[in-house]
Amino acid sequence: MVAKNFLLLLCFIALVNVESSPDEAVMIALRDSLKLSGNPNWSGSDPCKWSMFIKCDASNRVTAIQIGDRGISGKLPPDLGKLTSLTKFEVMRNRLTGPIPSLAGLKSLVTVYANDNDFTSVPEDFFSGLSSLQHVSLDNNPFDSWVIPPSLENATSLVDFSAVNCNLSGKIPDYLFEGKDFSSLTTLKLSYNSLVGEFPMNFSDSRVQVLMLNGQKGREKLHGSISFLQKMTSLTNVTLQGNSFSGPLPDFSGLVSLKSFNVRENQLSGLVPSSLFELQSLSDVALGNNLLQGPTPNFTAPDIKPDLNGLNSFCLDTPGTSCDPRVNTLLSIVEAFGYPVNFAEKWKGNDPCSGWVGITCTGTDITVINFKNLGLNGTISPRFADFASLRVINLSQNNLNGTIPQELAKLSNLKTLDVSKNRLCGEVPRFNTTIVNTTGNFEDCPNGNAGKKASSNAGKIVGSVIGILLALLLIGVAIFSLVKKKMQYHKMHPQQQSSDQDAFKITIENLCTGGSESGFSGLRPLEWTRRLIIALDVARGVEYLHTLAHQSFIHRDLKPSNILLGDDMHAKVADFGLVRLAPEGTQSIETKIAGTFGYLAPEYAVTGRVTTKVDVYSFGVILMELLTGRKALDGTRSEEEVHLATWFRRMFINKGSFPKAIDEAMEVNEETLRSINIVAELANQCSSREPRDRPDMNHVVNVLVSLVVQWKPTERSSDSEDIYGIDYDTPLPQLILDSCFFGDNTLTSIPSRPSELESTFKSGQGR
């Protein structure tokens, strides 16, 4: 009887112990919620006696759930967080659905592998209290969009963290690594998600060896600098492919263990540093489809497999071949701006005089650098001084800081330096004959460092007041006195006695037609090369008005009769009677319509609103006149040929008919025909109906320069005149008064319709 009672007592004690174990209830709930494939032998109530995939400690507490790759489906129960002795939770490569339950507070948990399932979410507190967590893989789950939870900052023992292709979004938060010790982290994989923003710079001191951020989805992606890599000296593998990282590649001299480096399909610019292509540990490197500049790198590691396929902006294709010295200097200049993307996108090849944005050349000499309003940051490089032929430097309306380099004062040919509307400080160097515009700087400078001139500074510091005065004087100067003044200049044929206008107002329109319509029957038709040079002169004049003057202006009445030809057959833009200050950016201003029929841009004629693009349209019509020898409006022709712009576009589209449109007075050979076709395409672009489809004048200049250089036209006879037809040695007030105004046959208002195709009209009150 005693023995029987003793046995009953033992059974009761055992029963009590089993029932009081929290792990049993949780594990039975887990078993019941899953659909197990095969025969995993999960029978009975004691989970510690289930299969080898469940492990327990000496106290019968569950320490490991390792059911990965078993073909299991179903959902996980919400109470897994009660398994307080759990160290390994491995359910990867199954068909599990629903949310991953919170494992918060499991201080012993070391491993979580939940990758390659169909889980739908991760709780925000998932990582709370997981101070021992080292290995995490959440890859390839169709989670609802989620962000890296703040609770991750508790997991300071992490060794590898992988959340690849699991709909992770938002930014990588700075606070995760700020003030926290993640010194054990060696692998970070966040590829194929929707992460955006910049990578945290305070991560640069980490000991990560493998960093994979490639293939972010969506438009924004990860962006910004990759300079954080420079201090990550433990790196062995870096994959940043398919993002929007920009700026230069960092210094790799400290990354002596780097084996694989993939930054394809970003927006990286600047030179490939020698510290990368001379790195002997490299075996794989991929740089294609970026905007990298300078010479093509020549990698020297013995077993390297460089992948340079795809777009870049290297100056030459042959690895290790040096660039043109002018290219090297320009790249040094933009290095101080952080190698902006807009330069890297448009500066192609090894010749900066072949249409590079912001660069204007005379022959092979760079004479104008115009970087106005390009959103530039950084400082002004002293390397500008390497271009001794520079006449104009325009860096206005950017966000530049620092000082104006003293070296710029050594540029003896420099006539204009415009650094207005930046954040410059310090002393202004001493210039002798250069007009310097520093308006809109020095506001945030420390005391005593606000734009002082150097002693004996002979430079002319021109502010916005003079800019406004320029506009007012251009509009208000009396026409009569200027006509009288100009009678002394630009007499093409002084031996020929004629009216005042005939004496000096010989224009492109007169010359292109060989005098047949103008009354100048003694003039010989202009050959194509001379017409091309005239077009370039006019384009440069308009470019100066739009972007290189101290203020931006709109001419509003660009036409052949407002273009003067000097004795050397070089052209100058004249008649500024309708000039207006241009609005900022792409905005337009409303004016009373004034100008000349045939040259009016459609949007101006309809709405009265103008931007600089109305001048571009007019210039396009002038190009058409140069090409065809016809007038913009010609009432003597058939109805379909009256309006030159419309007729020209129709002829140009029909390639078979276009040669018939070329002026018969010109001698056209195969070489000139190629040039004519390029100019015809340019004329079409300039006269596009939509303003946004028209190029800026600096692009027009670059196209024409590349064509003119082929014939190497003779140099100008006077060194005092620059490429804009402006005498910089003339004082500014006199320069304004010398502007050419003419009172030609204009009307005081716009007629309701052209009377006998009267081409010119003017509204003196509609300014």
Q: What is the DSSP string of 499-525?
A: -HHHHH---HHHHHTTTTTTS-TTPPP
For residue 750 the two structure tokens come to 């716009």
75: CB partners within 8 A, 6+ apart: 33, 34, 96, 97, 98
At 710, the pLDDT band (50, 70, 90 cuts) reads low
Amino acid at 68: G
Say whether pLDDT at 740 is over 60.
no
Say whether pLDDT at 621 is over 60.
yes
pLDDT for 39 = 60
Say whether pLDDT at 594 is over 90.
no
Share the mean pLDDT of the chain.
80
pTM of this structure:
0.60
Q: In the 8-state DSSP scheme, what is residue 203?
A: G
- The average pLDDT across 450-465 equals 46
Cβ-contact 510, 518 below 8 angstroms: yes
Say whether pLDDT at 645 is over 70.
yes
User: C-alpha 495: how far from its chain's center?
Assistant: 55
Which residues participate in catalysis according to the annotation?
Answer: 557
Cβ-contact 26, 80 below 8 angstroms: yes
Say whether pLDDT at 705 is over 90.
no
Say whether pLDDT at 175 is over 80.
no
Residue 697: how many CA atoms within 13 Å on its side-chain side?
29
Query: Tens digits of per-residue pLDDT, 248-282?
Result: 999 999 999 999 999 999 999 999 999 999 999 99
User: C-alpha 32: how far from its chain's center?
Assistant: 58
Instruction: Tell me how far apart the 2 most distant CA atoms of the chain are, in Å.
Output: 150
For residue 16 the two structure tokens come to 């009590």
pLDDT for 449 = 57
Terminus-to-terminus CA distance in the chain, angstroms? 122
At 593, the pLDDT band (50, 70, 90 cuts) reads low
> CA-CA distance, 467 to 480, in Å (whole number)?
24
At 15, the pLDDT band (50, 70, 90 cuts) reads very low
- Give the DSSP H or E segment for 416: strand 416-418
pLDDT for 681 = 92
Say whether pLDDT at 650 is over 50.
yes
> CA-CA distance, 726 to 545, in Å (whole number)?
11
> CA-CA distance, 648 to 686, in Å (whole number)?
13
Closest Cα to residue 722, out of 391, 490, 371, 432?
A: 391
pLDDT for 250 = 96
pLDDT for 201 = 87
Say whether pLDDT at 507 is over 70.
no
At 483, the pLDDT band (50, 70, 90 cuts) reads very low
User: How would you label 736-750 residue by residue, b for 16+ Cβ within 10 Å and e otherwise?
Assistant: beebbbbeeebeeeb
- The average pLDDT across 412-431 equals 91
- The average pLDDT across 518-543 equals 74
In sequence order, what are the beta bridge partners of 112? 89, 136
At 203, the pLDDT band (50, 70, 90 cuts) reads confident
pLDDT for 176 = 67
Q: Could you give the angle at the alpha carbon of 442 between the alpha carbons of 438 and 448, nearest 5°? A: 125
> CA-CA distance, 567 to 727, in Å (whole number)?
16
Query: Tens digits of per-residue pLDDT, 275-288?
Result: 999 999 999 999 99
Residue 515, CA distances (Å) to 151, 484, 567 in order: 85, 26, 17
> CA-CA distance, 271 to 19, in Å (whole number)?
70
Domains of the chain (ranges; CATH) run 180-321 (3.80.10.10), 358-462 (3.80.10.10), 490-712+742-761 (1.10.510.10)
Query: Tens digits of per-residue pLDDT, 310-343?
Result: 889 999 999 989 999 999 999 999 999 999 998 9
At 358, the pLDDT band (50, 70, 90 cuts) reads very high
- The average pLDDT across 741-747 equals 31
Between 356-365, 506-515, 631-640, 676-685, the lowest mean confidence (pLDDT) is in: 506-515
> Is residue 766 helix, strand or coil?
coil
Say whether pLDDT at 237 is over 70.
yes
At 18, the pLDDT band (50, 70, 90 cuts) reads very low
pLDDT for 635 = 84
Q: Which long-range contacts (CB under 8 A, 24 or more apart) does 224-230 make?
A: 224/197, 224/198, 224/199, 225/198, 226/199, 226/250, 226/263, 226/268, 227/201, 228/199, 228/200, 228/201, 228/203, 228/204, 229/204, 229/255, 230/204, 230/254, 230/255
At 353, the pLDDT band (50, 70, 90 cuts) reads very high
Residue 539: how many CA atoms within 13 Å on its side-chain side?
27
Say whether pLDDT at 502 is over 70.
no
Residue 637, CA distances (Å) to 608, 647, 717 in order: 29, 11, 41
At 698, the pLDDT band (50, 70, 90 cuts) reads confident
Residue 616, CA distances (Å) to 567, 604, 635, 653 in order: 27, 12, 24, 20
Number of residues that this document lists for the chain: 767
Closest Cα to residue 759, out of 582, 528, 411, 517?
A: 517
For residue 492 the two structure tokens come to 């093409």
Query: Tens digits of per-residue pLDDT, 550-573?
Result: 667 888 888 888 888 776 778 888
Amino acid at 485: K
pLDDT for 62 = 95
> Is residue 31 helix, strand or coil?
helix
Say whether pLDDT at 12 is over 70.
no
Going by their DSSP bridges, the two strands 553-554 and 580-581 should be labelled as antiparallel
pLDDT for 279 = 93
Say whether pLDDT at 223 is over 50.
yes
Cβ-contact 399, 423 below 8 angstroms: yes
